[in-house]
Copies of this chain bind each other. A is one copy, B any other.
Amino acid sequence: MTFSDFQDLVNLSRQKIYQETYAQNRETIRIKKEKTIVKNLAHILDAALRISNLKGFQAMSMRDLSRETGMSTGSLYAYFSSKEELAEILQSTGRAITLRLLRELSDEESTPKAKLRAAIRTHVYLSEVMRPWFYFSYMEARNLSKEERKKAISSELDTEKVFSDIIDLGQEQGVFARRDSRLAAGFIKAMMQDWYLKRWKYARREISVDRFADFVIEAVEAICLKQNEVDTNTEGSRA
């Protein structure tokens, strides 16, 4: 599966994402007409991510958001009850979609090696499609309420568990090397996160998302697989 396959496969149209967002936050949105909501909410959340990822969520004033959306502050407050709730909507949307897709797409594969590859590709591609969300989730999680921080932590651990479960399975089947699976899973996440956290680096070096995913897989297999299972000296598993 390449990135363009992924874009076709996962029908993650912006429309759909925002409809789910609305479904998850139905009780706090004062607007009634669904058509108005989906159109404006998309507009608002997009703008909020744009500004936040540029200067930080705290530094974004409601006046900034008002200017960027072309809506008044009063109107904005019809879509969320406070600035903090806006942050929570942004957080939860990205999280829900990530975990569901990660599980679904790695479950489709049968061998641990294939599962691992699928999970890595899914995560990297997803973070590419929804980069603003991922960046926001990572950088702003610590500034939320205690309860929201807890959710962020448990989401982080859930994602990690998808990977450590695959590694455990591979070890049970005797195809993976015996290493601490949770530490390894943590490292896999850390490597993948580099794609959306240090984007400027990869843009500057003209590394494509496929090339990046390939290299993550190459590195992860070097760590996880038994020696004789690793393809040596390849520049990329699909190259």
Binding site for B on A (CB under 8 A): 55-56, 58-59, 139, 142-143, 153, 156-157, 177-180, 182-184, 186-187, 189-191, 193-194, 198, 200-201, 205, 207, 212, 215-216, 218-219, 222-223, 226-227, 230, 232-233, 235
Q: Which residues of B contact A215 (CB under 8 A)?
A: 179-180, 183, 187
- Cβ–Cβ < 8 Å partners of A205 in chain B: 182
Cα A2 to Cα B142 in complex, Å, equals 31
Which of B190, B233, B235 contacts A193 (CB under 8 A)? B190
Contact B142 A56 (CB under 8 A): yes
B residues in contact with A222, CB < 8 Å: 222-223
23 contacts between A and B (CB under 8 A): A55-B143, A56-B56, A56-B142, A58-B58, A59-B143, A139-B139, A153-B200, A177-B232, A178-B235, A179-B215, A179-B218, A179-B235, A183-B212, A186-B201, A187-B194, A187-B215, A190-B191, A190-B194, A222-B222, A226-B232, A227-B227, A227-B230, A227-B232
Which single member of B157, B183, B194 contacts A186 (CB below 8 Å)?
Answer: B194
Q: How far is the CB of A188 from chain B (nearest CB, A)?
A: 9
A187 and B202 alpha carbons, distance in the complex (Å): 12
CA distance A193 to B232 in the complex (A): 27
Chain B residues positioned under 8 Å from A55 (CB to CB): 143
